[in-house]
Amino acid sequence: MFSHPGAVGRLNLGLGSSDDFMMLVFQSNQPQETEMQALKYGVHAMVWFNVLLAGWLSLHMLYDPEGWYYFVPGVTDTGFFNQHFIRDIGIIQGFIALAFAIGAFRIDRRVELWAAATLWLIAHAVFHFWEVAVGICSASVLARDFPAVSLPAIFGIAATIWACAQSRSAAASLKVSQLSI
């Protein structure tokens, strides 16, 4: 007897019909498909978090750099107000928002767009850790900055890894379909 956790009943491979086998295969794939859909929605939620956060930061930094400087906790502790520098970073945040947003719709460019945006987010998060490591800031800033610094980098890493896996899967499927032609 052959039994699968996703199957409703048991299938005797020696005596079962092809309909029984197809029912087993169909039922065993349903949980996997549901899990894949949930993963896809989770990744897209992370991506849109990054789009919204980076988009808001970009607009706020470009439109009102001084307001942003005084609004974001801890920024005033890192140095004097410099509207040019804040606007430069606002432009970068705009590109990050665009890269994640465009990648959400352009599957053929998703890996490159999300990876490029994620590299900057990682560098930014590592810089914050470095400031703590060399004594510029206390370790408490890591928790304060986590939602706007480390979390977007983690989300970017997860989304980019997922996009790479999807890209490989699509390439493998294409290769198989070309072989059957």
On the question of pLDDT at 80 being above 90, the answer is yes
| Contact present, 152 and 54 (Cβ < 8 Å) | yes
Separation CA 128–CA 177 (nearest Å): 47
Q: How confident is the model at residue 1 (pLDDT cuts 50, 70, 90)?
A: very low
Q: How far is CA 94 from CA 50, 59, 101, 162, 181, in A?
A: 11, 8, 10, 23, 44
What pLDDT sits at residue 140? 95
Residue 158 structure tokens: 């997860």
Tens digit of each residue's pLDDT (9 = 90 or more) over 37-73: 999 999 999 999 999 999 999 999 999 999 999 999 9
Tens digit of each residue's pLDDT (9 = 90 or more) over 123-155: 999 999 999 999 999 999 999 999 999 999 999
What pLDDT sits at residue 32? 83
Q: How confident is the model at residue 169 (pLDDT cuts 50, 70, 90)?
A: confident
Q: What average pLDDT does the segment 90-104 reach?
A: 98
On the question of pLDDT at 22 being above 80, the answer is no
What pLDDT sits at residue 10? 45
